Amino acid sequence: MSTSTPVDGTLFASLDPPRLAGSRCDACGTVVFPLALSCPRCSAAALSEVALPERGTLWSWTVQGFQPKAPYVLPGDDFVPYAVGYVDLGDVIVEGHLVGDRELLRIGLPVRLTLTQATGETVTYAFEPDLEPS
């Protein structure tokens, strides 16, 4: 899925390899995702775009067992329960879908960024178990 259209181009610093785009505050160093216009910690307006690490650890997770309300859009015809979690990327914790073997999910699991279908031809980000953590 390396030659696809992102569901929102501002999410990514690059698609191949996939890297999320975050903002680092020039004043206090706070890192946020997605991109921000001002720092949520010190309110400074000077932030720099940074490519977030592609690997992290699962901070917490759950399985979404029912269809969320709008604006959620089904990626297919029928709702299928999916795993979602918070991933600690070091400077920031990012929420995202979790794909791959659900039996492996546990707090502290090494995970890495990947792409998954969003709607139609578009892709978004997800995290999958990192079976070969560096």
Question: Which stretches of the chain bind Zn ion, using CB under 5 A?
Answer: 25, 27-28, 30, 39, 41-42, 44
Question: How far, in Å, CA of 62 to CA of 52, rounded?
Answer: 23
Q: What burial letters (b/e) apply to 30-45, b meaning 16+ CB within 10 Å?
A: bbbbeebeebeeeeee
> In this complex, which beta carbon is closest to Zn ion, that of residue 25 or of residue 98?
25
Task: Considering the complex, state which of residue 39 and residue 92 has its C-beta at the smaller distance from Zn ion.
Answer: 39
Query: Least distance to Zn ion from the beta carbon of 37, Å?
Result: 12
Q: Which C-beta is closer to Zn ion: that of 92 or that of 98? A: 92
CB 40 to Zn ion: min, Å: 8
- Structure token pair of residue 111: 């995970």
